[in-house]
Amino acid sequence: MKISFIWDSFPDLVSRVKKLIHMFSKTCQYAIKAVIYIHKQSLEGKKVGAKEIGQEIDAPDAFTAKILQVLVRQHVVGSFKGPTGGFFVDKSHESKTLKDVVLAIDGDQLFQGCSLGLNQCSEENPCPLHFEIKNVRTKIINMLTIKSLKQLAEEVGDGTTVLARLA
């Protein structure tokens, strides 16, 4: 029997409170967390299932599975079907960075195009934010490429704290 809470009556209000983020879509955040988790487990030679990943990163598992499909297609992580199957990374994924994850999931929105959505915006005919945005983007790209996913995974604490850190 499902217990219902008072805030279930105000879904929009709750969502507004929850949504204190941005820059990456929610899907992309899940993807980043999932990939780091996979890397962490692969460091210990373990393959992991979509369900487990979903639980560890606090994301719905079916949705996590969908995201993982994309990441596999884009060769950000690898997968095997069947028993003993799951998601993993190997040598071939070692140099992948967060930028690869963001590109696979959100596309190049964050890196390309006018941030005001102007059609005419260019170096010659820049929008009021053009050069500033360019600057910010350089920083973002730097942030997303300065370390490999493997390195990031190594920096995230040991097994016992992963959940706390990625949920």
Partner DNA sequence: ATCATAAAGGATAAAATTATCCTTTATTAT
Partner DNA sequence: ATAATAAAGGATAATTTTATCCTTTATGAT
Closer residue to a copy of itself in complex, CB, 86/97? 97
DSSP notation for 87-137:
EE--GGGTT-BHHHHHHHHHTTTTTSS-TT--SS-SSSS--TTHHHHHHHH
Q: Which of DNA, a copy of itself, none interacts with 108 (beta carbon under 5 to 8 A by kind)?
A: a copy of itself
Residue 46 interacting with DNA (CB under 7 A): no
Query: Using CB under 8 A, which of 13, 14, 43, 116 touches a copy of itself?
Result: 116
Residue 61 interacting with a copy of itself (CB under 8 A): no
| Cβ atoms of residues 68 and 86 within 8 Å | no
Residue 85 in tokens: 């199957």
Residue 127 interacting with a copy of itself (CB under 8 A): yes
Q: Which of DNA, a copy of itself, none interacts with 49 (beta carbon under 5 to 8 A by kind)?
A: DNA
From 48-56, 65-73, 75-83, 159-167, give the range in contact with a copy of itself by CB under 8 A: 159-167
**Using CA atoms, how far apart are residues 80 and 74, in angstroms rounded to an integer?**
15
Residue 75 interacting with DNA (CB under 7 A): no
What residue type is assigned to position 95 of the chain?
Answer: S
DSSP notation for 21-65:
--SS-HHHHHHHHHHHHHHHHHHTT--B-HHHHHHHHTS-HHHHH
Residue 129 in tokens: 């934010």
Site residues (vs a copy of itself, CB under 8 A)? 19-24, 26, 29, 32-33, 36, 58, 98, 106-110, 112-120, 125, 127-129, 132-133, 135-136, 139-140, 142-143, 146-147, 152, 155-156, 164-167
